[in-house]
Structure 1
Amino acid sequence: MGSLYYANEAEPIEIEDRALAHLKIVISTKLRRNESFTLSWVLPERAGRETIWVHPSIPMRFIFDDAVSPKINNRWLQDMMNSANSSGGISLVEETIEVAQPDTVRS
């Protein structure tokens, strides 16, 4: 489980390493462009959700439990980037897995 430290909060936002790696790419890309957005996630223990405002002036720190970076799923990354570009901001959702289509048999 990775940790995202936001602003001056003492308690981190805990996010699974694989999701955090993808999220870090999207956040870094948006902030490099000087773009602000919201980030939301589900709070299963309270059956609610939480949202933060991400802005270039707000410090963030990413800590990963695993020293090895995961393989990046480009589809999931694109889905996150699309949501970051929407008015609703990024919503942390389950990983999008592309299923390979079987080859078409030609007669």
Structure 2
Amino acid sequence: MGTLTYDSKLQVSFDDRVLAHLQAVIWSKLRRGEHFAFTWTEASRGAFGRTSIWLSPGIPVAFEYFGSRAPRLNPAWIQVLTKSANSAAGLTILPEPPDPGVRTS
């Protein structure tokens, strides 16, 4: 499990694979000077909670990974997450679609 740290105060754990894809989308938008919402759900004490933050180029965001190897990025998933980030609702974690670069047969 990796960690996303927002504004040096909020730390949230995500699977390294999910975090790598979030990093690609978040950095892409922040590089362009874009502001956007990011919402996720997480299990906490047996109940599911929802958290939203406003991401802005002026607020520090850090990504720390548990594993030493970077996961292979799925361009189809980055595209789906980017579309989500560009929506009025903002970035949400959506299921990973099949990777067009990986053969399954």
Corresponding residue for 1:56? 57
TM-score (ref. length: structure 2):
0.87
For the pair shown, which has the larger CA radius of gyration, 1 or 2?
A: 1
Deviation, 1:93, is: 2.4
Asked if structure 1 preserves the Cα contact closer than 8 Å seen for 2:30 and 2:57, the reply is yes
Deviation, 1:94, is: 2.6
Corresponding residue for 1:29? 28
Provide the secondary structure at the position in 2 that maps to 1:47: strand
| 1:21-70 Cα shifts (integer Å, max 9, x gaps) | 01101011000000010111112223221100000000011000111111
TM-score (ref. length: structure 1):
0.85
Corresponding residue for 1:65? 66
RMSD: 1.6
- Find runs of 4+ consecutive structure 1 residues off by over 4 angstroms: none
Q: State the distance in 1 between where 2:33 and 2:4 align.
A: 20
Corresponding residue for 2:77? 76
Q: State the distance in 1 between where 2:43 and 2:97 align.
A: 20
Identity of aligned residues (%): 37
